[in-house]
Structure 1
Amino acid sequence: MSIKKSVIAAAVFASLSGISMMANAAPSADVTLEGIITNSTCDVSVNNGLATLNVGVYKASSFTPNTQQGSVALPVELTNCADETGALIIQGQSASSDPSKQLFTAATGDTVGFMIKDAKDVQVAESQNVALDVTSADTNSYSFNVGMGTTDATPAAGSYSVPVTVAYIVN
């Protein structure tokens, strides 16, 4: 094959590849934007500054839909605070199959994720206020309890992780 024919063949192949890639592109895309505004002076530390909280290993057969499986402490410390009345919130994605927004998932279409209880053992929903008054510039502590959860009768086996943001809100 001559160089001229090779160049023409390569150009045709490249243009067809570009057309097929463009055919797969969507005309629009959605993105979720999240942000927090507060009047707090506090510095927030979660999980002793560690980026990952391992909540354990569970058998798929031990799950009941919409029920937290396991309980691992998630410590929250507030320092450098003024005497403030506010609330802790946990922000993240929740499963669209869970109208109570108590199952934190990596994406809204997921059915397996994490459930969180407050210090009174009450399930916490995404962006729900958990009242906490701070009275000292010293360390003010709170602890959530985290486990896994699902909206399915038997969740798919696998490794799961979910990013969340914990913030202290003062109006």
Structure 2
Amino acid sequence: MKIVNLLFSCIFMMMLLTACSLDNKSTKDVVLEIPNKEIYTTLLVQGVDKKGVSSEATLKVITDSNKIQAFIEKVNNMKVVKPPGKEIVKKSKELKKKGNYFFVLSDKETMDNKVYTLNYLKDGNIIFQEPNGKKQKPNGEGQKMIYVSKEKHAELLLEMKELLNITF
């Protein structure tokens, strides 16, 4: 009987260890494609000042289609991971610090139809919205910020600021 219990215990432990070592979907690499990339006509860029406040002085609306498409080309098809929700919340809190930006693509200047949001952090991480193509509701429902760039892209932020003539 002891041998049977020991055998079952070993089998149970092996199953547990195997299950824990399997590829977890939340940490698996994904190549993210921005949905509806051909329809965006507006790119809103919002930063914050030294006090962590966003204002007209830290806002820029871009309607130049060449600049918008160049922006999309730079961030489209980026390798991302789906981190635990706690990490997204932690990174989202960093957005109130100077040097972090919101980039919002939209098919209208009023931002009331199709939108796609990216949060660019000073350290080079990019947080991406789930590419579900859903219309964002006023309360933020329908938009989930769930992917983070696998690698940090600090140099890309400098390129974006230069391309879009962002001085804040």
TM-score over 0.5 for the pair = no
Larger radius of gyration: 1
Relative contact order, higher structure (CA 8 A, sep 6+) = 1
Richer in strand (by share):
1
Q: TM-score, normalised by structure 2?
A: 0.24
Q: What is the TM-score with the length of structure 1 in the denominator? A: 0.24
Greater share of residues in helix: 2
